[in-house]
Amino acid sequence: MSTAIELKRVSRRYRSATALQDVSLRLEKDAIHGLLGRNGAGKTTLMSIATAQDWPSSGEVRILGQRPHENEQVLPKICFVREEQRYVDDALAKHAFSAAAQAFPRWDAELAAQLAREFRVPEKTRIKKMSRGQRSAVGVIIGIASRAEVTFFDEPYMGLDAVARQLFYDRLLEDYASHPRTVVISSHLIDEIAHLIENVVVIDQGQILLQEPVEQLRDRAVTLVGRADAVAEIAGTREVLHHEAMGRIVRTTMLGALDDSERQALIERDVEIVPVSLQQLIVRLTAREDASNQTTLNPSQEVAR
Ligand SMILES: Nc1ncnc2c1ncn2[C@@H]1O[C@H](COP(=O)(O)OP(=O)(O)OP(=O)(O)O)[C@@H](O)[C@H]1O
């Protein structure tokens, strides 16, 4: 595995808060990673430090094997799309795109123009005067068309409607397939980006709680729907993450994969196996992790909104 992003014991302390606490992380090159966590978990801080827009209080960062801070060799290879991006006062979208063309060597102007039409970005409205969704679209277009080797999207969907969000996911995946690169997306909409990401990183209170390939994570649990006695029989001594009863029918999410004989037994007893929601699984697993870390969090608190 080749590493694109590496943090070694990175901390970021503010006078009143510790945003990152001794974070060590290696993210694989040419993969799409999801950075998930509750409000204030440290996602933006981590991204700001990895993209050299902020300095760590201690620890080291390597992007494509180099320190990114004040490094003219590696900075053009990094794109950071964030909500509070500042633009020149009277800038139109085309001005932001020209600036991006200067900043990113692999910029594709035709792709940017095509995306601007698809996202319906107005040509003659100053970015400052655009709606929130239109401004987000400008950022998303820059993130995709920059083709930067390492691209960070910090909650890129703010203000984007459902059609525009789907367009973002589709176009990002298409362009990623033809131009592989390393992408990190922070999001609260876990199930919405689940099909996009290959690797999940969950951060909470400035620390990494979980890092795992999505497929592996999904295999950790199953959800069964069927008669209570049949489901209980299969569940056996497995750890139950979630349980709902609807009359005699129950819906139970439990840890542990099923073997062939258990699958056969489920068919015979008319118990259905349904896909586990990644959002549910992460919420439950991190609540468990929190409890075992003996933090003061209430286990019912959720990682995602
Ligand atoms: N400039 C700052 N001064 C003081 N504290 C800060 C500053 N920036 C961030 N923090 C604190 O650091 C912690 C992490 O903030 P960060 O913005 O990284 O979280 P986040 O995971 O991106 O949250 P959200 O999902 O709400 O955007 C929070 O407790 C926040 O209050």
Per-residue pLDDT at 284? 81
Confidence of residue 295 (pLDDT cuts 50, 70, 90): very low
Q: Domain check: are 204 and 246 in the same one?
A: no
For the chain, the domain total comes to: 2
Q: Taking residues 162-174, report their average pLDDT.
A: 95
Distance CA(64)–CA(76), nearest Å, equals: 12
Which pair of structure tokens corresponds to residue 16?
């009143």
Instruction: Report whether 63 contacts 50 (CB < 8 A).
Output: yes
Q: Out of 136-140, 286-290, 297-301, which region has the weakest mean confidence (pLDDT)? A: 297-301
Look at ligand 1, atom 14, and give the residue with the nearest C-alpha.
42
**Mean pLDDT for the chain?**
90
Per-residue pLDDT at 294? 52
Instruction: Report whether 31 contacts 182 (CB < 8 A).
Output: yes
Q: Residue 282 belongs to what H/E stretch?
A: helix 278-292
- Asked if the structure places residue 89 within a domain, the reply is yes
- Asked if the structure places residue 299 within a domain, the reply is no
Q: Domain check: are 253 and 197 in the same one?
A: no
ipTM of the modeled complex: 0.97
Distance CA(209)–CA(224), nearest Å, equals: 26
- Compute and round to an integer the Cα radius of gyration of the chain: 22
Q: What values do phi and psi take at 3, rounded to 5?
A: -95, 130
Q: Ligand 1 pocket test: pick from 12, 14, 20 the residue with the most ligand atoms within 8 Å of its Cβ.
A: 14
How confident is the model over 83-94, as pLDDT tens digits?
877 888 889 999
The domain that contains 10 carries what CATH number? 3.40.50.300
Look at ligand 1, atom 26, and give the residue with the nearest C-alpha.
39
Evaluate: CB of 39 within 6 angstroms of ligand 1.
yes
Distance CA(166)–CA(23), nearest Å, equals: 32
First to last CA, the chain: 33
Alpha-carbon distances, residue 221 vs 235, 239, 298 (angstroms): 11, 10, 22
| CA 303 to centroid of ligand 1, rounded, Å | 15
Q: Domain check: are 111 and 258 in the same one?
A: no
Q: Taking residues 170-191, report their average pLDDT.
A: 94
| 161 burial type by CB count under 10 A (0-12 exposed, 13-18 middle, 19+ buried) | exposed
Q: Domain check: are 95 and 158 in the same one?
A: yes
Q: Domain check: are 233 and 202 in the same one?
A: no
Beta bridge partners of 211: 201
Per-residue pLDDT at 257? 83
Evaluate: CB of 187 within 6 angstroms of ligand 1.
no
3-state secondary structure of 51: coil
Q: Domain check: are 181 and 255 in the same one?
A: no
Q: Taking residues 111-118, report their average pLDDT.
A: 97
The last residue of one of the domains, among 179, 213, 247, is: 213
How confident is the model over 234-279, as pLDDT tens digits?
888 888 988 999 989 999 999 888 889 888 989 999 999 988 888 8
- Asked if the structure places residue 73 within a domain, the reply is yes
| CA 282 to centroid of ligand 1, rounded, Å | 21
The last residue of one of the domains, among 151, 183, 213, is: 213
Q: Domain check: are 243 and 186 in the same one?
A: no
- Asked if the structure places residue 63 within a domain, the reply is yes
Q: Domain check: are 79 and 15 in the same one?
A: yes
Nearest to 232 by CA among 243, 247, 221: 243
How confident is the model over 74-83, as pLDDT tens digits?
999 999 999 8
The last residue of one of the domains, among 213, 236, 262, is: 213
| CA 43 to centroid of ligand 1, rounded, Å | 8
- Domain range for 58 is 3-213
Q: Domain check: are 9 and 143 in the same one?
A: yes
Alpha-carbon distances, residue 98 vs 84, 92, 101 (angstroms): 19, 10, 5
Sort residue 197 into left (φ over 0), alpha (ψ -120 to 50) or beta.
Answer: beta
Q: What percent of the chain has pLDDT over 70?
A: 95
pLDDT at residue 62 is higher than 60? yes
pLDDT at residue 297 is higher than 80? no
